[in-house]
């Protein structure tokens, strides 16, 4: 709230307020988009209390998919590193990955 001479004259809304309002009144597609943005921004927990159950399930599925993708990338990285010549992996080598 913005006050002038002790009286409220305006209400300022930040992104947190706008997202929560939109989650409560918005449609599922809009809610999914906010959930994705918040998930990858690390602030999904700030709005979980107002998410409808279908979006809770969506976030749970998103977490599982991201976890699987990270595991796959780590596996591929390990496989790639195994193909490198040993001198590339030695810290003292001018060819070492940094």
pLDDT at 29: 86
Is residue 26 assigned to a domain?
Answer: yes
Res. 11: pLDDT tops 70: no
Is residue 59 assigned to a domain?
Answer: yes
Is residue 57 assigned to a domain?
Answer: yes
Is residue 94 assigned to a domain?
Answer: no
Burial, 91: exposed, middle or buried (Cβ in 10 Å; 0-12, 13-18, 19+)?
exposed
Q: Range of 49's domain?
A: 2-89
Is residue 83 assigned to a domain?
Answer: yes
Closest among 59, 60, 18 to 35, alpha carbons compared: 59
Is residue 17 assigned to a domain?
Answer: yes
Quick check: 11 and 2 in contact, CB under 8 A?
yes
Res. 12: pLDDT tops 80: no
pLDDT in tens, 56-79: 999 999 999 999 999 999 999 999
Res. 98: pLDDT tops 60: no
Domain count of the chain?
1
pLDDT in tens, 16-64: 667 666 766 778 888 898 899 999 999 999 888 888 899 999 999 999 9
Is residue 95 assigned to a domain?
Answer: no
Is residue 96 assigned to a domain?
Answer: no
């Amino acid at each position: 709230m913005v006050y002038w001479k002790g009286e409220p004259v305006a209400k300022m809304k930040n992104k947190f307020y706008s997202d929560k309002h939109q989650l409560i009144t918005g449609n599922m597609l809009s809610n999914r988009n906010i959930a994705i943005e918040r998930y990858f921004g690390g602030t999904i927990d700030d709005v979980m209390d107002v998410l409808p159950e279908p979006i809770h399930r969506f976030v749970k599925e998103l977490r599982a998919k991201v976890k699987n993708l990270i595991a796959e990338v780590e596996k591929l990285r390990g496989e790639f590193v195994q193909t490198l010549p040993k001198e590339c992996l030695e810290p003292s080598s001018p060819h070492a990955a940094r």
